[in-house]
Amino acid sequence: MIPLLALACVLPLASAAAASTEISSVRVATRNDANTPFVRTVVDVSQKVTPRLYLDKSGQYVTVTLPNTKIDKNVQKQYDANKNVISRIWLTQRSSATDVNIKVPRKITANDLKVFTLPADAKAKTNNRVVIDINDKSGKVKQWSHWGDTSIGIHPSQQTKTSWKSRTDSGSAVGAATVTIPSYGKSASYSLTKGLKGKTICIDPGHGGTDTGAIGSMSQEKNITLAISKKVQQLLQEAGANVIMTRTTDVDVYAPNDGAVEELQARCNIANASKADVFVCIHIDSFSSPDAMGVTAYYNPKTQYDLGLAKYIHQQNMKATSFPDRGVDTANFYVLLHTNMPATLLELGFISNPAEEKALNTETQQDNFAESIVKGLADYFDHNGL
C-alpha cells in the first residue's frame, strides 16, 4: 500500500490558506485478515491532504495532524475501538488543522503504525481518505488463520511443514489458567462401528462473534461456516445421530475478544466433554492472492483414524463442488491436536477467490457441502474409520 510516512517527519503545509477541506466522516474497524491484526481508522476528507504523524515518547499517544481541515458539524468527535489495540480516539479542531488523537493501551513503535492517503475514486464511490493502521500488541485479537500448536497465526499455505510431535502433559504449556486442558488419548472411547445412527458427532463452525474469520468482498467466513454447519446438523439429526454444535449462533464460544487458545480450547472442551465419536471443524480458506482456489481436508495423525475421517469426507466433498481439489493434508492445528477423538478441519474453498466466495454464499453450494460431509461421515463409520 501507498506511501508510509516517517515518524515525526515535518512536511510543509499544503497551503497557508484558510481551512477549506472538510472532514466528513471517520470509521474504525478491527482487521484480522493480516499476519498481525490491526485497527484501521479511516478519515474521509473532501480534498487530498498531507497528514503529519507524531508518536510521543511514551509510545502511547499518536497524533495525526490534517492541515487546513475542519470537522463537519455532523461528525462525532470521539470513537471507540477494539480495547486491546486502542483505548480512545478523539478529534480536536485547531485554528487551521485537525488532530486525530489516538491513545493506545500498550507502547507501540514506528513499526506498529502506518499512515497513508488514498485518492477519491468516483467509480468505487469513495472519498479522499487518510488511513491510520495500528497493530495489535496485546496478542488478544485473533487472526483468521487456524492456529497450530507451534506456528500460531501462520496460514496453512505459508506454513513450513513441521513434523508432528506429541504435546507434553503440562497444561501450563498452552497458558490460560481458566481453561481446562485435558490430555487427549486417555479417554479414547470413540465409536468406530457402522452407521450414523446413535453416533455423537461434534460440528465446529469456525470463528464467530468478534472473530469474523477471513473476510471476502461480500461476506465473512464466520457466517458461511455457520450456515453450512447448521445444514450438516439438520441432516445428521435426520440420520439419527446425536449432534453437538460448538455454536449455533454468531458468538464467540469462549468470550468476545478472547485469545486464540481460550477460544479454540473451549471448542475442544465441548467435543471432549460430550465424548463425541468424531470432531468436524468447518472453515473457509483465504489467501493474499485471489487466484488461490480449492478444497482441502486437514488431519493430524494423533489416532490411526484421523486420516480416514479427513479422507472419506474429502472424497465426498470433491463430488459436491467444481472447486479444485487441494487434497488431504496433515496439520498441527490446535483443534486437531486437543480433541480426544478423530478430528478433521475442512477448508471448503477460498473466500478470497471471487468465484468461490460467490458460490459459497449460495444455498445450493452450502447444501451440496452439507450433504457431502454427511455422506463422508457415513463412509467413515462404514469403513470403521480406516
**What residues make contact with Zn ion under the rule CB under 5 A?**
206, 213, 283
How far is 8 from 56, CA to CA, in rounded Å? Answer: 9
From the CB of 166, what's the least distance to Zn ion, in Å?
25
64 or 224: CB nearest Zn ion: 224
Report the distance separating Cα 342 and Cα 94, nearest Å.
62
The residue (of 104 and 226) whose beta carbon lies closer to Zn ion is 226
Closest approach of Zn ion to the CB of residue 173, in Å: 24
Q: Closest distance between Zn ion and the C-beta of residue 361, in Å?
A: 16
Q: Closest separation between CB of residue 170 and Zn ion, Å?
A: 28
Closer residue to Zn ion in complex, CB, 267/283? 283
Degrees to nearest 5, angle at CA 33 with 30 and 39: 25
Cα gap 4→35, rounded to integer Å: 18
- Closest-CA residue to 52 (of 5, 95, 88): 5
Instruction: Give the residue with the Cβ less far from Zn ion, 206 or 376.
Output: 206
Q: Report which of 96, 17, 1 is spatially closest to residue 52, judged by C-alpha positions.
A: 96
Rama region for 289: left / alpha / beta (φ>0; ψ in -120 to 50; rest): beta
Query: What is the nearest approach in angstroms of Zn ion to the Cβ of residue 207?
Result: 6
Other C-beta atoms within 10 Å of 132: how many?
Answer: 24
Q: Which is nearer to Zn ion, 148 or 213 (CB)?
A: 213
Q: What is the CA radius of gyration of the chain?
A: 24
**Shortest Å distance, C-beta 20 to Zn ion:** 46
User: Grid coordinates representing 25?
Assistant: 466522516
CB of 259 to Zn ion, least distance (A): 16
Minimal CB distance to Zn ion: which residue? 283
- How far apart CA 278 and CA 40 sit, in angstroms, is 39
User: Nearer to Zn ion by C-beta: 262 or 277?
Assistant: 262
Spatial distance between the Cα atoms of 311 and 266, rounded to a whole number of angstroms: 26
Whole-angstrom distance, CA of residue 218 vs CA of residue 187: 43
Q: Which CB, 108 or 331, lies closer to Zn ion?
A: 331
How crowded is residue 139: how many other Cβ atoms within 10 Å of its Cβ? 14
CA distance to 70, 201, 306, 329, 374, per residue, from 316 (Å): 59, 18, 16, 16, 9
